[in-house]
Chain A
Amino acid sequence: MIDISEIKLSNAQIAWRAAQDIQDGAYVNLGIGFPEMVASYQPEGKEVIFHTENGVLGFGPAPAVGEEDWDLINAGKKAITSKPGTSFFHHADSFAMVRGGHLDVAILGAYQIAQNGDLANWSTGKGGIPAVGGAMDLVQSARRVAVVTDHITKKGEPKLVESCTMPLTGVGCVTRIYSSLAVIDVEGGHFVLREKIAALSIDDLQALTGAELLTTKGVDALICPEALG
């Protein structure tokens, strides 16, 4: 087993890399937790409009502690703010934006991603209480579905696999993976490696991946700001 603990990207670096691909003017939904970090790394000069499924579009950053208004929260139940251009709407309208295909990008976390784009991210299938929230809606209907994730689990098992063994959130839905080691597209039922960190050879990366990595599109260096490491 290759020890990647010293060379892998931090969550902040993964979030930064994902943020670079969001086009100006895009409508974007970020999943609860790690994916929310993407909002912190928007490139200067680009305006991105964030959607939260509980009924706010174009919201602002978190308020100062003590300034919270608990009628104004995001999907993670954290306080947010409004700003010029914010709108409020009810839940059926909010998910009309989702299932009607109006969102440009949804960025979520993952337990497993299969080479055909299947995503498992809502239940480990080991008992416990199931909780799906809006993930099943988002992954089927956003135009682009990106995942931010560690490349392997804490036990060292691949998260990118031939087929998911955990309960699915959606089928054939993931279009791009930003992992702690690489940027990988899902195309035609295969993982296509687009970028990888320089400290790892393609063979080493393949050894940490549970399905074949195609390199037919050319592989660029995955470079993120070191200050975020």
Chain B
Amino acid sequence: MSEMTRYPISQEDLDMVKTVTTLREVIQQIPDGATVMIGGFGGSGAPIELIHALIDHGAKHLTVVNNNAGNGHVGLAALIEQGQVDKLICSFPRSADPSVFVTAYKANKIALEIVPQGTLAERIRAGGAGIPAFYTPTAFGTAVAEGKPIEVFEGRSYIRELWLKADYALIKGDLSDTHGNMTYRMAARNFNPIMATAAKVTIAQVSRVVQAGAIDPEHVVTPGIFINHLVEITHPAQEEELNRAEAVYP
């Protein structure tokens, strides 16, 4: 891991002021107009504290890559509600309460690029692996394929899709050691490991930072080479729980 900054927050000494300050420190490098990948599938794996810090920071004209378009008035939905997102690249802009995105979309305040979910994942993977384009059968013959080159392999038609890269990735993990070697929690893994590879700068929030050696190398999911900054958030918010409590951010 290169140039990693760790912002230590001990479990005994977790006070909100310090947390917000350290989050600000790392998030304030994100400029207006940046492309930002945000991990998560719905609320599972969504880095809520990092997104809320981005709202506090106020960077505008962002292009955001996420599977969805937010739910309720927290997390990604809140970022859109604050008018910070010019364009969203996603597969499924529906949720239990998509009203923030729907309102912005119908008012032409946000552009939408719909990408089939597997193509979205593979474009991100390709971006992280330095592969500019690939062929897929997904969406052949549909509106999504319009204008894309087609090639036949072994008698079957495939469309060409391009890599997807970002300036920043905001991701959520479970444990990380001091080298940024990370694990995830169950289905909260989803887009987080591939987004970590596809951004120039990856900022990860994790529930606990442990010493090198505390995670069995066999169990590391994201090696630390992909992580630039770690923020320890010992009790991360769950979007689903915030929405059930009808929370609104800010």
Contacts and interface: CB of A to CB of B under 8 A. Distances in A.
Interface of A: 52-56, 68-73, 77, 82, 88-92, 94-95, 98-99, 118, 129-137, 140-141, 167-171
22 contacts: A53-B117, A54-B41, A54-B187, A55-B190, A70-B44, A70-B240, A72-B186, A73-B42, A91-B117, A91-B194, A92-B124, A99-B118, A99-B136, A129-B112, A130-B93, A131-B93, A132-B114, A132-B115, A134-B117, A136-B144, A170-B141, A170-B142
Given A77-B95, A95-B122, A170-B141, A132 B102 contact: no
A56 B120 CA distance: 18
Contacts of A99: 118, 122, 136-138
B228 to A, nearest CB: 19
B189 to A, nearest CB: 5
A168 B146 CA distance: 12
Contacts of B217: none
A140 B140 contact: yes
A132 B140 contact: no
B78 to A, nearest CB: 18
B241 interface: yes
Contacts of A95: 117-118, 121-122
A13 B40 CA distance: 35
Interface string B152-178: 000000000000000000000000000
A129 B104 CA distance: 12
Contacts of B119: 136-137
A141 B122 CA distance: 15
Choose among B118, B144, B221 the residue with the greatest number of A CB atoms under 10 Å from its CB: B118
Interface string B95-113: 1101001100100000010
B91 A133 contact: yes
Contact of B141 (A70, A90, A168): A168
B192 A90 contact: yes
B114 A130 contact: yes
Nearest to A134: B117
A159 B125 CA distance: 37
A183 B162 CA distance: 40
A132 B144 contact: yes
Contacts of A134: 91, 116-118
Interface of B: 41-45, 67, 91-96, 98, 101-102, 105, 112, 114-122, 124-125, 136-144, 184-194, 221, 238-241
Contacts of A91: 41, 67, 117, 120-121, 124, 190-191, 194
Nearest to A99: B118
Contacts, number: 146
A17 to B, nearest CB: 28
Nearest to A138: B118
A168 B193 CA distance: 31
Q: Which 4 A-B pairs have the closest CB atoms?
A: A95-B118, A137-B118, A171-B141, A91-B121
Contacts of B138: 99, 136-137, 140-141
A73 B188 CA distance: 9
Contacts of B221: 90
Nearest to A53: B117
Nearest to B143: A167
B137 A90 contact: no
A168 B137 contact: no
Contacts of B98: 129
A56 B117 CA distance: 15
A43 B198 CA distance: 44
Given A82-B186, A171-B141, A71 B91 contact: no
Contacts of B105: 129
Nearest to B98: A129
Contacts of A73: 41-44, 187
